[in-house]
Structure 1
Amino acid sequence: MGIPLDKAALVALFLQILFYAGVFFTLYWLTLFILLKKTGIQRQLLIPVGTMLLLIATAHLIVDFVRALEAFVFKVNTLGADAYYSNLGSPLALTSLALYVTQTAIADGVVVWRCYMLHNRSLLVAILGGIVMLTYGTSGYYVVWSFSRIHPLRNTYTSIIVFYTLTMFISVTCTILIAWRIYRTRRFIPEGLAAFLPVFIVVVESGALYATSVFALLIATLVGSNAQYIMLAIISPIVGITFCLIILQVHFHVGGSLPSEQPSRPRGIIAGLLRERGVRSTSSNNRTITVHITEETEIIQSDMTHGKNSQLDLEDVFRV
């Protein structure tokens, strides 16, 4: 037996508040605390993007809360909760969907940009990523426009599936490309896999968290389950959680230790805030550079004795 629409809406609102207030809002301020100490592109890009994701998630939560009030309080005797939530063309429902499409486009845009910069500003990555984003962005806003009509168009359902599929595709593809690029750089290090593992874990976890959520949303939509409304509500804060969590993970090396890392250093995010990591000393014979890449600021150590060609362009990255 499927989940009734009114119960799915209540569960969605509860989980959305839990993920937003209990996780995303806290992680945002921890991330902001770290980024305010930095200079350069991380303050010019990461802080505005993170703040925008927070504002959109806040607006999405407010809209869904107002919808719940109308469905279960103000219009419960005249319309009913099921009928209210079944009307996908109402102004608040359209606003909620438009906010979701916008937030997804912003988050995926940062992922594509990160992949583009990490691959030495490859035009192939930029063009293919731009085409995919343009396609699913058009599909997403087309769905919003279609629902705004009195009678939604027949191909609206197809556009929804295309939007979810391409969103998951771009997340998985960029994650694989970034992990492969970091692996190619890490393989020159004598420690080999031990040096690569922490970065690999962080990169894969960042893509897996969001891609798994979108995959669950896609499956629920394909089978016609009302659980799709639950996933649609919680993905909004999950986008911001992924953005903030990866910055914190990489900053404090959560998920693994680099070979040259001191064992006495803090292992957790909160502990890291109380005890800031020291700067590694560099040797004149074998210099090591720590580079933090793009929005996730993946840590890449490069042995300079392997030549300049194996290094990432320092102008294409920023440090955290």
Structure 2
Amino acid sequence: MTSNDIPFDTGALMSTVLEGILYGFSVLMFMGTMWSLTYKQHVRDINRPIFIVAILLLLLSTVHIVVNIIRVENGLVKYRDTYPGGPRAFFADVSEETYVIKHALYVLQTLLADGVVIYRCYVVWQSVWVIILPSMLWCSVAVTGVTAVYSVSQSSSSTSVFAQDLAMWIMGFLISTIAANASSSGLMAYRIWTIERNITRHRAGPKSTMMPIMHVLMDAAVLYSVALFTALVCYVCSNNGDVIMVDLAVPIISIAFYMVLIRIAVNRQHNYLPNVGTNVETRQSGNVQQYPMQPLQVHISQFTSSDNTSAHEIGNERPSGRRSPTWTLVK
């Protein structure tokens, strides 16, 4: 550790505090996600896989911050005077139980989140060939992540996290997950852009219905990629800042996932035209009478473009076949 590097005990405390702040935001966004998935929805219409993934992300991030709190309490309070070398040596020990557990949780959450991004890419493209490269990168994430956690668990207490035998697996894991996320998000953004360009020719109004989804997808991808890239740079430079960034990546994964679902729900609500109520005045025998008109609700369930992908399908994240536009008039 260089003289201007962050001490291990300071880094552990900083990461726990900052992770707690982001975890609070992720809990609020989880509540918004549950609302977006269940609001005015029948039980049979709820997207159960996405519902389960949202809950799993919350559980993993919750367990992760609990383990981090226990780790800080052990290093700074419980074993402060009994651990050889003090708190700094405790937090530098990569074979310590809480260190291994929290990184195993991080690997699981990364695999879950990257898998969802790849699935979204498949839903948008409706082609297995498109997701071959992201799927291979996902397998690389799984192999390098599991191997890194196993190698850490088998290391001695004196092994540095920047040791060469650990570095190749950790760097491989970070590079693989950045590439998997960037490739899947880029493919989705390109597909949505081409669909929007095609349906714009047939849309009467100038307002875009799918570009907001593309924007939030890219925002989530950039947020996640920047956090991982920062962790990678810190690790390459043998800086303890990677400890902070890796811990922050756990709630950031959940936040990025939730913000996409919430934006899709908002976009879906805006696709419903509001009720139009007005009064019609008629003159009869010199008297003015008003007759309230019944609300007219026009529900456009979806618009299917010529390339067989619709905005409604992207919102539901369920692959389906070709459908025709449906109009429902409710008096």
Say whether the fold is shared (TM-score over 0.5): yes
Output the CA distance in 1 between the equivalents of 2:17 and 2:315: 37
**Amino acid in the other structure paired with 1:25:** V
Paired residues of 2:235 and 2:242 also in contact (CA < 8 A): yes
1:46–1:104 CA distance, 2 compared to 1 (3 A): same
1:50 is displaced (CA, Å) by 0.5
Output the CA distance in 2 between the equivalents of 1:316 and 1:245: 18
The residue that corresponds to 2:241 in the other structure is 227
The residue that corresponds to 1:87 in the other structure is 93
Output the CA distance in 2 between the equivalents of 1:214 and 1:166: 11
The residue that corresponds to 1:33 in the other structure is 35
Aligned pair partner of 1:51 in 49, 55, 60:
55
1:142–1:210 CA distance, 2 compared to 1 (3 A): same
Paired residues of 1:172 and 1:211 also in contact (CA < 8 A): yes
1:314 is displaced (CA, Å) by 9.0
Paired residues of 2:234 and 2:241 also in contact (CA < 8 A): yes
Paired residues of 1:57 and 1:237 also in contact (CA < 8 A): yes
1:84 is displaced (CA, Å) by 0.5
Residues 248-279 of structure 1: per-residue CA shift (max 9 Å, x gap): 1232249xx98x988xxxxxxxxxxxxxxxx9
Q: Secondary structure at 2:151's aligned position in 1?
A: helix
Q: How does 1:68-83 map to 2 (within 5 A)?
A: 68-79=72-83, 80-83=86-89
Highest RCO, 1 vs 2 (Cα 8 Å, sep ≥ 6): 1
Output the CA distance in 2 between the equivalents of 1:183 and 1:55: 34
Q: Which has the larger radius of gyration?
A: 2
Output the CA distance in 1 between the equivalents of 2:242 and 2:49: 32
Paired residues of 2:304 and 2:310 also in contact (CA < 8 A): no
The residue that corresponds to 2:327 in the other structure is none
The residue that corresponds to 1:135 in the other structure is 140
**Unmatched segments (≥5 aa) in structure 1:** 263-278, 283-287, 291-300, 304-308
Q: Secondary structure at 1:310's aligned position in 2?
A: coil
Q: Secondary structure at 1:281's aligned position in 2?
A: strand
Output the CA distance in 1 between the equivalents of 2:75 and 2:100: 16
2:329 pairs with 1:312:
no
Output the CA distance in 1 between the equivalents of 2:45 and 2:249: 27
1:41 is displaced (CA, Å) by 6.7
**Amino acid in the other structure paired with 1:144:** V
1:161 is displaced (CA, Å) by 0.6
The residue that corresponds to 2:193 in the other structure is 183
The residue that corresponds to 1:67 in the other structure is 71
1:103 is displaced (CA, Å) by 0.3
1:313 is displaced (CA, Å) by 6.7
1:317–1:176 CA distance, 2 compared to 1 (3 A): closer
Paired residues of 1:187 and 1:193 also in contact (CA < 8 A): no
Paired residues of 1:88 and 1:147 also in contact (CA < 8 A): yes
Paired residues of 1:42 and 1:318 also in contact (CA < 8 A): no
Output the CA distance in 2 between the equivalents of 1:155 and 1:183: 43
RMSD, aligned CA: 2.9
1:76–1:137 CA distance, 2 compared to 1 (3 A): same
State the TM-score, normalizing by the size of structure 1: 0.79
**Amino acid in the other structure paired with 1:141:** V
The residue that corresponds to 1:16 in the other structure is 19
1:128 is displaced (CA, Å) by 2.4
**Amino acid in the other structure paired with 1:231:** M
Paired residues of 1:89 and 1:149 also in contact (CA < 8 A): yes
1:42–1:115 CA distance, 2 compared to 1 (3 A): farther
Aligned pair partner of 1:241 in 244, 247, 255:
255
Q: How does 1:157-176 map to 2 (within 5 A)?
A: 157-176=167-186
1:194 is displaced (CA, Å) by 5.7
1:85 is displaced (CA, Å) by 0.8
1:116 is displaced (CA, Å) by 1.3
State the TM-score, normalizing by the size of structure 2: 0.77
The residue that corresponds to 1:215 in the other structure is 229
